[in-house]
Structure 1
Amino acid sequence: MGYRDGISAGKEASVQEGFNEGFGQSVDSGYSWGLVRGVSSVLAALPDQLTEKLVCDPERKERFGKLYESTRSISANDALHSFLNDLLKHETKNTGELAQSFCYGQLDSFSKELSLLLRDCPEIKMNGFSCREE
């Protein structure tokens, strides 16, 4: 193995390490963001009669509608930028220390709102979804 091969291998290892760290920090928020967009989109697409059976309270139905509109207006690229900005703000506040689990910021607030709405609507069942209370 020559000098150039060593440099290339070092670059690849460094890039992979950075990817692994970034993936670990973003996977929970990305997954939750996808669930919020998916659930709110499904409820928005259902006929009114079915939505009323699932969400009896008009105020909750309105909150689901606002959640749908809020998440629909944010593109995947904008969500990524929001995640990065929140991550950098958190890093600055905590003297350069990054959290292992990203549980703060705008995207997480949508997840918490969905969790609160689902808790109040027992007719809607979602396995494996829970709000990360912090």
Structure 2
Amino acid sequence: MENDDDSPWMHDDDMDYDHHHHQPVASTSAPSAGARHEHRIALQEYDRMAGRYYDEGYRAGITSGKESRLQQGFDQGYAISAPLARQLGHLRGIASTVLALLTTTSGAKYSSPLLDHFASSQEKEGVVSRLREVVSMLGALGQDDVVPVDQEAEQHKKEHDGDTGESLATMERIQMHQLDSMMQRLGQRQGSLPRAKTGLEECKQRLQQVLDACGMGTLPLEVADDSNAMTL
């Protein structure tokens, strides 16, 4: 992905990009020590929330890869599922962080670079409404929606892992579904109706439109090519 010198992702005095958790974060500059302290606390919360989405997405990729016990099968499963699952976690982290910056009391104090791009409060509310839809859509996407279930691998797993393997897999799926539900609630207003599921690519496009409206540039979604697959 080419660097764009005009993109806010590339400037420290506007919106920095957290390379550890793959999310945009607000500038750390503040007029006083007290404000800087509050700022750090707020960013730690956003970092924790977005980081959890990213880590769970990565774990989903690992889980999908390990469905096949043979090394060749694992390599193939990992190469397909891990990048997609990580990308889902990545998108969730960015969307939830921007939503927090635009809608929470603490986030509003540090979101002036974003707010400068809105001509009116009505325009901001329109963008927030679109962002809530994106967050809800990302929450509705589960691992099986991003990476189709390999029925042959599932059967192989049952035969070799038995009840213990099935129990562990069930626990992981329950944890992922709980996280998905939390993400959906984050994006929904009270009384809003559930939306039909959309694909990962459409979610990415809609989130990009929101970031464009906020003047935040292109999504930094280059996913490294994991050509050297992990060894079982």
TM-score by length of 2: 0.34
User: Which runs of structure 2 are paired with 1:7-86 in the superposition (5 Å)?
Assistant: 15-46=70-101, 48=103, 49=108, 50=111, 53=115, 56=118, 57-58=123-124, 59-72=126-139, 74=140, 79-85=142-148
1:61–1:87 CA distance, 2 compared to 1 (3 A):
farther
Counting aligned pairs with the same residue, the percent is: 17
What per-residue deviation string (whole Å, max 9, x for no partner) do you get for residues 8-46 of structure 1?
xxxxxx711111111211233223211210011112222
Q: More displaced, 48-57 or 61-70? A: 48-57
Question: Deviations for 1:57-87, whole angstroms, at most 9, x for unmatched residues?
Answer: 3322211111112223x3xxx6211123499
| Equivalent pairs, count | 97
Cα 1:20/1:42, change in 2 over 3 Å: same
Q: Which residue of 1 aligns with 2:17?
A: none
Q: Determine the C-alpha separation between the residues in 2 that align with 1:31 and 1:55.
A: 30
Output the aligned Cα RMSD: 3.4
Cα gap change, 1:87 to 1:121, in 2 (>3 Å): farther
Quickly say closer, same or farther: Cα 1:87–1:37, change in 2 above 3 A: farther
Alignment of 1:78-117 (within 5 A): 79-85=142-148, 106-117=199-210
Is the CA contact (8 Å cut-off) linking 1:55 and 1:61 kept in structure 2? Answer: no
2:192 corresponds in structure 1 to: none
Structure-1 separation of matches of 2:200 and 2:214: 22
Higher share in helix: 1
Ranked by relative contact order (alpha carbons within 8 Å, sequence separation 6 or more), the top structure is 1
Moved over 4 A (4+): none
Q: Quick one: which amino acid aligns to residue 83 of structure 2?
A: D
1:35–1:120: structure 2 CA closer, same or farther, 3 Å change rule? same
1:129 maps to amino acid: L
